[in-house]
Amino acid sequence: MNNRQTKKKHGLSTTAIHAGHKSDVQTGSLTTPIYQTSTFVFSSVEEGARRFAGVEAGYVYSRLGNPTVQVLEEKVAALEKAEAGLAFASGMAAVSSVLMALVQTGDHILGTKGLYGCTYGLLNLMKDRFHVDYTLCDMTDEDAIRAKLRPTTRVIYVETPINPTMKLVDLQLVAKVAKEAGAYVVVDNTFLSPYLQRPIEHGCDLVIHSATKYIGGHGDVIAGIAVGPKPILDTIRMTTLKDMGGILAPFDAYLLIRGLKTLGVRMERHCENGMRVAEFLHHHPKVAAVYYPGLRHFSQHNLACRQMDGFGGILSFELKGGLESGIRMMNHVQLCKRAVSLGDVDSLIQHPASMTHSVIPPEERAEMGITDGLIRLSVGIEDVEDIIDDLDMALSQA
């Protein structure tokens, strides 16, 4: 028998269940314990000094690291094929901590048009108070990206698919341009989860998730995750995470670990239902347009097939009657819930212009492709016939 055994690489679902878990020798606990503690005891003054100095591994204080939270960080890092992970109290805590760690006064951030409303608000805050400038760009064209770069550009910040227009960004293209410019590429991968898209495999540097969405999957926790090179994540941990304090609680980490165990089966169902609903809406006489990467007529369908392992459960659509028809339709759904957020097992429907993107001025929303009549639907994992029946009934009132 050959003594040299190569460790087999596991699939994504196996990784989501087993990565990061440490066996509890004393109790044999199958699930990761909740280490609900604020601080940790040192065996001696010398041990405490070594841990504070960073020369000895170990826990000091839960704002700096916690065993339950660490399991979550290692799981998501393994799924994204990253060196390390870092958990936060919310998706926006992750976005703000990462960006604040990567830039300084006088730097420039280049972002995709159509950014999530709160990310847009953060960029304006950083510009007004800390003189970190930003530009939004349609990143579908290499020349357009290069034209917006500056010598001070430190970060290219990407959402793909873009919320809520579902436009895609070619990650390999952006990574190539950023590398030449000496800028980091930070990708918000919330819409797809690591089960369907892994930006680091395409040359990007850091990945951010609002773990509230698909990673948690059940609408019962607010959290954020960032993954990437360990030296960068270590710096963020000991600066903007530690000093700004947007840490994740151990119990919330436990909920996310539990949610990750069903990520694979949930994402398969989200994709299956998403495609069926998109096809139904595409053929409905009252629907003017459907934006879903899985539809063959979607303008970037080939790119979606190249860089995504599935098309996800999010889509947007417009009704022929415009905003008023959309309002009537949304007010008549019964199974689908009128709520922001996405990635839950429940189907959620919302109006971006008056809800998630209301902070963005109307003229800028129009440039992003966010019309007043656009509706976003996060397709859940209910029986798809029931989702379609609910939408059909509501559309009859539009």
Active site residues: 63, 116, 188, 213
Rounded distance between C-alpha atoms, residue 66 and residue 59, angstroms: 7
- The conformation of residue 202, written as its DSSP 8-state character, comes to G
Rounded distance between C-alpha atoms, residue 98 and residue 179, angstroms: 18
Rounded distance between C-alpha atoms, residue 356 and residue 118, angstroms: 8
Instruction: Check: CB of residue 124 under 8 Å from CB of residue 115.
Output: no
Rounded distance between C-alpha atoms, residue 369 and residue 289, angstroms: 13
Residues β-bridged to residue 349: 338, 377
Question: Residue 356 has which token pair?
Answer: 């998630």
Question: Residue 231 has which token pair?
Answer: 């030296």
**Closest to 291 (Cα-Cα) out of 393, 201, 213, 368:** 368
The sheet that has 374-378: what strands, in order across it? 287-291, 314-319, 374-378, 348-350, 337-338
**Sign of the torsion formed by the C-alpha atoms of 266, 268, 271 and 274:** negative
For the chain, the distance separating the N- and C-terminal CA atoms, rounded to the nearest angstrom, is 70
| CB burial of residue 219 (10 Å; 0-12, 13-18, 19+) | middle
Looking up tokens 């034209």, which residue turns up? 147
Rounded distance between C-alpha atoms, residue 293 and residue 302, angstroms: 9
Q: Are strands 184-188 and 206-210 parallel, antiparallel or unpaired?
A: parallel
